Structure 1
Amino acid sequence: MPAILGVDLGTKCGWAHLNTNSQGSAIISGVWDCSIRSGVDSPAIRFLKFEKNLDGVLSLSPDMVFYEIVRAHRGVKAAHMYGAFQQKLFERCDYFGVPYEGVSVQAIKKFATGKGNAPKEDVIAAVRVWGFHPKDDNEADAIALARLGWEQYGS
């Protein structure tokens, strides 16, 4: 049975690892805070934090990684940050030999709520109905990604 990793890229990065075996399935999830301290940390520290955390869950040997594709950003800085996190994800997945696939924001929302334009609160509520207690919308998105990935790849 395959293991799936869902990743919601960003400074507050949601992640969820879904593992299935003969006894059922289990998801472990959380949020990595990849922010930096202004005037103290170099800008690259956020990507080193992301890499360290990502390597930790990639060591759990997922068979596939699904990540959220964001096609529109609030600004230039957000777009640059997303691109850097995405590139780091590709690099580390390639290093570990784990295939990856992007899923649109709308597809994640539709899977979780039935509506591709649902607000973040609705995704959190849907994930809670599934029996999870996400800290925020980033973790909720990652859990939904892992479950969506399982339906596409694992079944």
Structure 2
Amino acid sequence: MADTTLLGTEPGATLNPPSRTILALDLGTTTGWALRSHDGLITTGTASFRPGRFDGGGMRYLRFTNWLSEIDRLSGPVEAIWFEEVRRHAGTDASHIYGGLMATLTAWAELRGVPYDGVPVGTIKRHAAGKGNADKAAMVAAVRARGFSPADDNEADVIAILLWAIETKGGVA
């Protein structure tokens, strides 16, 4: 699933193409991603890193590394990465998966000299929906009100991260 929108195409907006390619991520087994390319095009979607029946424990992270490299090769170079900074998880497995994906992401970014930063969940929700504890439905509705069509809450959250990064930090991590 991917959604594509040109930043600045709201009625009455002037198109001023950005110069930096920014990647936003909502890390998890189903990782939400949003990419603003250097020409201002925003593409979003989700990627599954669920291991196969016969996969070893590290295959999820190897697939994630390969996926990051492919995004960088096809759409990059990625010049900044923003990710949802989660402090509480639903369970131990979710916590381990998040930690492994974050370690993989930060190592990948460090190796390439790409700046990265986490955004607290409450900050994202407050910026998108007006409440730091907005539920999934409110986040999806807030992102839809901005002209996007997220397939699920993972995609809605990552669109909100990207919009927050662009609107408050200019995309610079």
Task: Name the counterpart of 1:29.
Answer: 44
How many angstroms does 1:153 deviate by?
A: 2.6
- The CA RMSD over aligned residues, in Å, is 1.5
- 1:81 counterpart SS class: helix
Q: Deviations over 1:122-150 (max 9, x none)?
A: 11111111111111111111111111111
The residue correspondences of 1:44-59 to structure 2 (distance < 5 A) are: 44-59=58-73
Q: Match for 1:8: what amino acid?
A: D
- 2:44 counterpart SS class: strand
Whether 1:3 and 2:21 are equivalent positions in the alignment is yes
How many angstroms does 1:20 deviate by?
A: 5.0
Between the aligned partners of 1:87 and 1:81, the Cα distance in structure 2 is 10
Most deviating of 65-74 and 75-84: 75-84
Task: Name the counterpart of 2:162.
Answer: 146
TM-score of the superposition, structure 1-length normalised? 0.90
8 Å CA contact retained: 1:34, 1:50: yes
**5+ residue gaps, structure 1:** none
Q: Deviations over 1:26-68 (max 9, x none)?
A: 2111101000123x22121111121111122233123211100
Between the aligned partners of 2:147 and 2:160, the Cα distance in structure 1 is 12
8 Å CA contact retained: 1:8, 1:138: yes
Whether 1:127 and 2:149 are equivalent positions in the alignment is no
Could you tell me the percent identity over the aligned residues? Answer: 39
Q: Match for 1:130: what amino acid?
A: R
Q: Match for 2:63: what amino acid?
A: K
Q: Alignment partner for residue 108 of structure 2, among 92, 98, 113?
A: 92
Between the aligned partners of 1:151 and 1:129, the Cα distance in structure 2 is 16
Please identify runs of 4+ aligned residues in structure 1 that moved more than 6 A.
Answer: none
Whether 1:77 and 2:93 are equivalent positions in the alignment is yes
**5+ residue gaps, structure 2:** 1-18
Task: Name the counterpart of 1:61.
Answer: 77
Q: Match for 2:47: what amino acid?
A: W
Whether 1:13 and 2:20 are equivalent positions in the alignment is no
Between the aligned partners of 2:130 and 2:86, the Cα distance in structure 1 is 19
Task: Name the counterpart of 2:9.
Answer: none
